[in-house]
Amino acid sequence: MGQLTRRQLLLGGGALLGAGAMPGLIGSAAGADLPRPGHVIRAGTNENPWGPSRVALRAILNGVDYSNQYGGGGVREPFARLMSELNDVPVDHLTIGTGSGEILKMGGMLASMESGSVVCADPTYQDLVRYAGRAGAEIIRVPVDEHLHIDLEAMASAIRRDTRLVYLVNPNNPIPAIIEKNALRDFVVEISKDRMVFVDEAYFEFVEDPDYGTMLDLIREGRKNIIVTRTASKIHGLAGLRVGFGHAHPDLISEINNRKTGQMNVLGLVAAYASYQDREFQDFTLRMNKESLAIVEGMFDELGLRYVKSNANFCFFENNRDVREYNSVMLQHGIMSGRPFPPMTMWSRVSMAKPDEMRYFVQTYRNLYG
């Protein structure tokens, strides 16, 4: 990869912990109250609380010397090839963005270039639909079903002749539920015959449910009108460095690339290139996330709170109080919780911080509302 070699990027060995590996709270005796931490617990933004891996940090350090170069310092093409290898999708089926958010907005732009509508679940992640709405598209929001799952039948029924794009987030956000893989595949194949289908897979690394499946197979088959996005922001802890990518048919990739406005940076690219090869850190993040989820979901079970079993790095539970008031109270106790997600304003999203931080969250919630 030119001046930056794979050995340079991976120099320093496996990542036992991330950059933020210091425990959030340390060493309370069993049964003793946990002290309030000296920082605000970021349980509202679905970030990786451990930060980038040590391997990624070493890659950033090695890449600084090339940050004077346009075009990502010669790292963009090696990163594209790596993504192609890892996902078994040809390089010409790939676009790299400044976070997957840029590609989401390109989907919104393409959908709004002709007057028409965009169909999405409600609630769901808003970047694409917000951008499309501001650009003039009509947004058709389809409520989730009684189990808080995305209702594919209702979404199909909501599609109109002027619908340009159907947007699906899988796992969904703020509701960490999945769409059953066979039903989703059939839906995407059918709907994409006449219009674009955009599948956002930002949290796919966290899913263990065998009923889940990526839609990349459809891209491999050469099907058109389908976009699948991924991101380095979540499991890799690179949210602030903005690296994301999307897969689609080369014709659609070309259309997206011709309209993108962002520019990749060498530090984000070298960090992502190293982190995607650092399986040890990814496994560590998954273990810690599962531990944090068990702590929080265990409290939901004990208190009898309704919640959706998580397939991501966050929970969504029925709080039985207005989320704005709840967030204000929690912040007074050093915990930042998820923003409101209308129309479900009596529900709350809580992102997984480190296990000890989530124990403090549970302790605080019990003291206030248990």
CA 111 – CA 97 distance, rounded (Å): 18
pLDDT at 3 over 80: no
pLDDT of amino acid 31: 57
Contacts of 125 (CB under 8 A, 6+ apart): 169, 172, 173, 174, 200, 202
Judge if the upstream peptide bond of residue 176 is cis by omega within 30 degrees of 0.
no
Write out the two tokens for 82: 């790596």
Burial tier of 204 (Cβ tally within 10 Å: 0-12, 13-18, 19+): buried
pLDDT of amino acid 10: 45
pLDDT of amino acid 66: 83
pLDDT band at 153 (very low <50, low <70, confident <90, very high): very high
Residue labelled with tokens 């999708």: 89
Calculate the alpha carbon distances from 100 to 96, 177, 260, 299 in Å.
8, 20, 12, 33
DSSP state letter for 236: T
| Bridge partners, 230 (sequence order) | 245
Judge if the upstream peptide bond of residue 23 is cis by omega within 30 degrees of 0.
no
Mean pLDDT of the chain: 90
CA 18 – CA 278 distance, rounded (Å): 11
CA 125 – CA 168 distance, rounded (Å): 9
Q: β-pairing, 117-122 with 244-247?
A: unpaired
Whether residue 49 contacts residue 353, with contact meaning beta carbons closer than 8 Å, is answered with yes
DSSP state letter for 239: G
Contacts of 239 (CB under 8 A, 6+ apart): 45, 47, 48, 99, 233
Contacts of 367 (CB under 8 A, 6+ apart): none
Percent of the chain, pLDDT > 90? 78
pTM value is 0.90
Percent of the chain, pLDDT > 70? 91
What tens digit of pLDDT does each residue of 177-191 get? 999 999 999 999 999
Residue 219: closest CA among 203, 241, 198, 236? 198
Question: How open is the CA angle 358-361-363, to the nearest 5 degrees?
Answer: 110
What tens digit of pLDDT does each residue of 238-253 get? 999 999 999 999 999 9
Question: How open is the CA angle 274-278-280, to the nearest 5 degrees?
Answer: 160
Write out the two tokens for 7: 């050995």
What tens digit of pLDDT does each residue of 122-134 get? 999 999 999 999 9
What tens digit of pLDDT does each residue of 58-70 get? 999 999 988 888 7
CA 221 – CA 183 distance, rounded (Å): 18
Q: Which of 5-14, 131-140, 170-179 is the least confident region?
A: 5-14
pLDDT of amino acid 71: 67
What tens digit of pLDDT does each residue of 11-36 get? 443 333 444 443 444 444 445 789 99
pLDDT of amino acid 205: 97
pLDDT at 2 over 60: no
Domains assigned to the chain: 28-52+279-369 (3.90.1150.10), 57-275 (3.40.640.10)
Calculate the alpha carbon distances from 38 to 13, 26, 293, 361, 367 in Å.
31, 12, 23, 14, 19
pLDDT band at 261 (very low <50, low <70, confident <90, very high): confident
pLDDT band at 72 (very low <50, low <70, confident <90, very high): low
Write out the two tokens for 97: 């963005």
What tens digit of pLDDT does each residue of 305-333 get? 999 999 999 999 999 999 999 999 999 99
